[in-house]
Structure 1
Amino acid sequence: MKKTGLALVLAVTLAGMGCTNMTPQQQGTVSGAAIGAAAGAGIAAISGGSGWTGAAIGGVVGGTVGNIKGKQQQQRGY
């Protein structure tokens, strides 16, 4: 689990650094994927499942939700 946590922290840090020139929809997608991956890995670790599988599923779900939320913000002009 230590390697999974380190990989997630690194991914979130790198994603945050690259968000300066992104549209709100793109930022929502990246942020949602990072948060979803972290949550998915944590839930999988607590429940005794594979951290990588949880991170992958959480990342896809989080990225999808973040994309939708970012698109709504972009249309509103935030």
Structure 2
Amino acid sequence: MVTGAWTPMKKFATLTLIAGLGLGLAACGETRNERTLSGALIGAGTGAAIGGLATGKAGGALVGGVVGAGAGAVVGSNTRGPRRCYATNRYGERYRVPCRY
């Protein structure tokens, strides 16, 4: 066996690692637009890496990048950002309170 060869197990482990990192970083941002953009960028990079590794061709990386960008944008857009919960005192001043989910 050649030591530098890509075995199916190495390929699967690499793809799983890349997908896990991409999902872990998906939807970073405070506003919905920021989460959509970051999700699309992370999805495109992850999809291109997975597509390139899976097929070994530039076409696979291109298709993977396009599909990943679309999926990342959808996921990023539909996630909730950090919540900031406020209450108002009797003088009309806002202050932060613990959020109830």
Q: Which runs of 5+ in 2 are unaligned?
A: 1-29, 86-101
Amino acid in the other structure paired with 2:69: G
- For residue 33 of structure 1, what is the aligned residue in structure 2? 40
SS at match of 1:73: coil
1:41-65 Cα shifts (integer Å, max 9, x gaps): 0000110151110000000000000
Percent identical residues: 30
Bigger RCO (CA 8 Å, 6+ sep): 1
1:6-61 Cα shifts (integer Å, max 9, x gaps): xxxxxxxxxxxxxxxxx710000000000000000000011015111000000000
The structure with the larger Rg is 2
Amino acid in the other structure paired with 2:64: G
The structure with more strand, counted as a fraction of residues: 2
How far apart are 1:73 and its partner, in Å?
1.6
TM-score by length of 2: 0.48
Amino acid in the other structure paired with 1:63: A
Amino acid in the other structure paired with 1:58: G
SS at match of 2:47: helix
Of 78, 81, 101, the match for 1:73: 81
Question: What is the root-mean-square deviation of aligned Cα atoms in Å?
Answer: 2.2
**Aligned-partner Cα distance in 2 for 1:35–1:77:** 25
TM-score by length of 1: 0.61
Matched, 1:43 2:43: no
